[in-house]
Amino acid sequence: MQPETINRKLLMQAAAVALGLFPIGVLFGVVAQQNHWSWSDVLLLSMFGFSASGQFFYLKLANEQASLLSMFFVILMLNIRYVPMSLAAWNAADNGRRLLRLVLSHFISDESFAIEPRYGRLELRATVRAIIYASWVLSTVCGVVAGRLIPAAWIGSFSQYLLFPATAILAILAVKRIDGAIAGNLQLGLAAKLVLMSACAAFSAATIHFLGKDAFWIPGIVGVCLILYLCRWGEERSNENHGVMP
């Protein structure tokens, strides 16, 4: 496949993800407007606090008049996963462009990390992140405008359905990411891949059940990575025992 075709396909995926996240941003803007936030407040928060989960939690904690220290630690725990994600997204081809890499780390998201190529050009990864970032910022501001036009009685009836696109996209990207992680070294059939993905999903569900939906992020990510690592390690050991080169 030609590089131009790959790049075009990747940008189309980024646009599709951005479109799926748009309703979530609108929902945030609507909720913020109901709590008397102005469009400029939402714009600044979305630009400098680019994190859907973090922004929703900040809005909730601000309405509860939580202390700044409490808000800082809660949002830090939610978003600390972006630090290893940003480090993992760097590669040797980016050497000499540390300032640009540091700036682009602000724009990383779960969705961009899932679809951007690990060893692709820095400009291409920057474009993917910019598409998703711009869509999120625009959608939250549109939500403030919509909140002024939509009757409050209507909002509660359909707000729950606005979460579905993002949930579906994250689920699809998670499956795609896990499949990509095991495709490099593992020669697994479809049934084996489904079993492995089911194990990852079961582990995540268990961490949600025992740790709660706010605290499962880090243990869940670490556990899934460990499962994938053990599968890779087992396959490599099996290849070594049978004299098969990886």
Is residue 171 assigned to a domain?
no
- Decide if 175 is inside a domain: no
What pLDDT is attached to residue 133? 93
Same domain, 115 and 223: no
In a domain, 117, yes or no: yes
Q: How far is CA 37 from CA 44, 71, 75, 157, in A?
A: 11, 18, 19, 21
| Predicted pLDDT of residue 138 | 95
The tally of domains found in the chain comes to 2
pLDDT value of residue 135: 92
Instruction: Specify the pLDDT at position 185.
Output: 47
Q: What is the pLDDT of residue 134?
A: 93
Residue 113 contacts residue 170 (beta carbons within 8 Å)? no
Do residue 10 and residue 52 come from a single domain?
Answer: yes
Q: What is the pLDDT along the chain (246 residues), one digit of tens a residue?
A: 455 666 777 888 888 888 888 888 888 898 888 888 899 999 999 998 888 878 888 888 888 887 888 788 878 877 887 887 777 776 655 555 677 777 888 888 877 887 777 656 777 888 888 999 999 999 999 999 988 887 666 665 555 555 566 566 666 666 666 666 555 544 556 677 777 778 878 888 888 888 887 677 778 777 777 776 777 666 566 666 655 444
For residue 109, is it within any domain? yes
Range(s) of the domain holding residue 236? 184-246
pTM here?
0.66
Hey, what are 120's tokens? Answer: 């692709």
